[in-house]
Structure 1
Amino acid sequence: MSSALASLPDYLEEEILLNPENREFPPFDLVNLLSTVFEPTEGCRVCILTDFDEPAELIKDFNFLKQDGFPVQKKAHEAFYEALHGGAMKALGMHGGEMFAYRCTHGSNLDLADEVWNTEGRQLSLDQDIYSKYDIVLCISTFSATAPLTAKCKEFGFRGATLHGLNDIILSSGLAVNYDEVSADAERIRLAMTKADSMEIDFALEDGRILTAWLGLSQQEAQKSHGLCKGKTPDVANLPAGEVYFVPDDARGHFPMKYEDGTLGVLTVEDRNIIKSELIEGNQATIDEHNARLADDPMTGTLGELGFGTQVLPVSGADIQDEKVLGTCHLATGRDDHLGGDIVPDMFKKHENSTHDDILFAPHKTPNFNIQEVRMNRGDQQEVIIENFRPSRYIMDALASDRG
């Protein structure tokens, strides 16, 4: 190991990179998390948002706690609501701590209806009673609300965090880290990749085929999801964080897709849009359904993001954390206005289509194919970014830069 790489922290050692489940984390501490992410917190009024299909009934008197199911909402109550009222708000100089519920959107990053209910079962307005009255909004939900809350924070001036899919693994790992360190590592990788002309991804399939997707980036400034909302500037963090991302303005080629039912397909991309899916194995009806959706509303196949994980974390079973793992990458289709892109909800044929859907490529998620290589092109420079789901030497050198 070079002297530079020797200065890397323990969590970036090769043994931990190969077995991230062996990384040791401190116990989850809500005070540490909120004080780091939202400094300053003194005087801030905080609340928790969550989602149900029947919010009025289930949030009233915390009725959901008495029923089976609702693991995310129960974890929000246990780890955030109870902790806030158990001393965290006092330690942070915060006020409020109320919990509210809105109607579940059943889609990633769909706009929220304005109706929201408090724990007395009374209907309120998100605009009039939440966004305009609270300084910090913590949205712990089934489906991501990052895009709509990002738009609302700019309108109303609050700060916030979205933590959809919260579970015990995320609490004990992705939310137990030091976000000042996460931010610094994300910035090191961002600087190593920013102003890229393009990225090329080679996917190796089990049948021996190599599929290549090319994404045009036009020397744009790379962005980072790093988990910090310090100061008073309106912003929404997506937690767990740890990602460098681009909004592609062009794309072509092919990449594999593993559908929810396990079906594998090959997607063809032209002019940044997925134009068709072809079956590799599994259910032809799943492929037909996707193709019908593309034909009915082509915007659902527009690529809106290319992201790279920057943290060393164990697999949580929830993409919100698993897409932040170093050595993985993801594409996303649909709206990207919350990322600074040009795809907005009004461009879709139906409201329910205006989602932002991540397609994660990771060993546990897509064991049927391998990311053989990701290459960055920047002027005359070409650098390998990922090799076989592992960060390249170029990325490890970037992580070692300016340390000790």
Structure 2
Amino acid sequence: MSMPAYITKEILADPTKREFGEFSLSRLLGTVFEPTDGCRICILTDFDDPAAMMKNHAYLEADGFPVQKNAYKHFYQALHNGVMEELGMDGGEMFAYYCTNGSNLDMKDPCWDAEGNELSLDNDIYTNYDIILCITDWSATAPLTAKCKEYGFRGATLHGVNDIILNSGLAVNYDEVSEDAECVRQAMTKADEVEIDFELEDGRILTAWLGLDGQEAQKSHGLCKGKEPDVANLPAGEVYFVPVDARGQFPMKYDDGTLGVLEVVDRNIISSTLIEGNQSTIDEHNQRLADDPMTGTLGELGFGTQVLPVSYSDIQDEKVLGTCHLATGRDDHLGGDIVPDMFKKHENSTHDDILFAPHKTPNFNIREVRMKRGEQVEQIIENFRPSDYVLQSLSR
């Protein structure tokens, strides 16, 4: 029994030293969606003005839009340059819908093709394609998961795709990713509780406790094989729980760099207190919590299971072994009980990940993560490194 060859002390300390094969769309689709023969495939992307940007692929001549340009170059063109023929697929069209401007918000129905025709996601896309690749600025995993169950397609969400992700997180063997995720899942499933100790720069220790009630751990492993409706979130490689309770404190680094301490009671963030930065940022968050308390409900606890380089896009970076993340808001796509109708306003019904990783939160350390399962107590993470218990679970 030994760990996968790419998991060494040297690579764990510096994941950029891991060698990856060249990105291959054919290999990715063939592995993730087997079987593909006879499937109709399309690509979805998002713009603030989808009618104008999608017509004749106008975004290709405009400044910006790196994700959409990657969708065109590495997915749309590749499909038409042999990948569909190789995998026995057809279709290959690309469509654009309105940006949601929020993580996992439901999408508006209108969309446009490259000829400038207005179409309907419900009536023209979900009903006419077997595999849908959603390559966007804003994550659509939650709404697309709901739609796949309604309309019967398979798909993958790949928001924020950049060159690092293409050459690492999407260039791996997803059968192996799935196997590694299952190993970690087995090591953590049916946990009763998890405690996370956060160490601040001033030496304070904050502890967050999450009650899991012995639930089966779930995995985001990247495979949608067979014919059952499902949506993969790529890059994948994660084990996660839907908390049933939570309390304590944890630090938060806001988009503007402000640091705060979040107070959690009965699974809900009830307040934020300034550590350093802008008090106005803290006040704005507290106002949002007071106005719509559901925005502070904890809907996910996740742990990365892959060894990957930092991509500076959370879609990959939350999958890195030795990191963990919490998420607030809707969790219906994870099997949870928080649905969009529970929020005061539609724009509040997001699913927002809070990633704890050295590059993302250098102002504080994950000193230790502990899991309790019956009488068993195991260390999961120490100082942003996977524990021996987790590494041993990966031996095969």
TM-score range, shorter chain: over 0.9
Superposed displacement of residue 9, structure 1: 2.2
Q: Which residue does 1:165 correspond to in 2?
A: 160
Show the counterpart of 1:289.
284
Aligned to 1:89: 84
Which SS does the other structure have where 2:270 is aligned? Answer: strand
- Once the two structures are superposed, what CA deviation does each residue of 1:129-155 show, in whole Å capped at 9, x if it has no partner? 000100000000000000000000000
- Normalising by structure 1, what TM-score? 0.98
Kindly state the Cα deviation for residue 10 of structure 1 after the two structures are TM-superposed.
Answer: 2.3
Residue 305 of structure 1, aligned match among 289, 296, 300 = 300
| Partner amino acid, structure 2, of 1:328 | T
CA distance in 2, matches of 1:221, 1:239: 22
Aligned to 2:329: 334
Q: Please tell me the residue identity of whatever aligns with 1:9.
A: P
- 1:108 corresponds in structure 2 to 103
- The equivalences for 1:1-400 within 5 A come to 4=1, 7-400=2-395
**SS class of match (1:128):** helix
Report the RMSD for the aligned CA atoms in angstroms. Answer: 0.4
Partner Cα separation in structure 2 for residue 11 and residue 34 of structure 1: 23
* In structure 2, C-alpha distance between the alignment counterparts of 1:96 and 1:358, rounded to whole Å: 33
Q: In structure 2, give the amino acid aligned to 1:71.
A: P
User: Contact between 2:188 and 2:217, CA under 8 Å: does it hold in 1?
Assistant: yes
Q: Secondary structure at the match of 1:384?
A: strand
Work out the CA distance in 2 between the residues paired with 1:67 and 1:325.
33
- The one-letter code matched in structure 2 to 1:14 is K
2:195 aligned counterpart, secondary structure = strand
Distance 2:208 2:379 in 1: 15
The separation in 2 between residues aligned to 1:381 and 1:168, in whole angstroms, is 42
Distance 1:101 1:46 in 2: 15
Distance 1:65 1:395 in 2: 44
Q: What secondary structure sits across from 1:343 in the alignment? A: coil
Q: Secondary structure at the match of 1:12?
A: coil
Amino acid in the other structure paired with 2:215: Q
Letter in 2 for 1:168: D
Q: Shift of the alpha carbon at 1:8?
A: 1.7
Q: In structure 2, what residue type is equivalent to 1:374?
A: V
Which letter maps to 1:116? C
Partner secondary structure for residue 6 of structure 2: helix
The one-letter amino acid paired with 1:86 is N
Contact 2:4 2:394 in 1 (8 A): no
Q: Which runs of 5+ in 1 are unaligned?
A: none
Instruction: Give the paired residue count.
Output: 396
Counterpart secondary structure, 2:361: coil
Partners of 2:268 and 2:34 in 1: CA distance? 40
Percent of aligned positions with the same letter in both sequences?
77
Distance 1:142 1:67 in 2: 16
Unaligned runs of 5+ in 2: none
Question: AA paired with 1:225?
Answer: S
Q: CA deviation at 1:11?
A: 1.3
Using structure 2 for the length normalisation, give the TM-score: 1.00
Structure 2 Cα separation of the partners of residues 342 and 140 of structure 1: 27
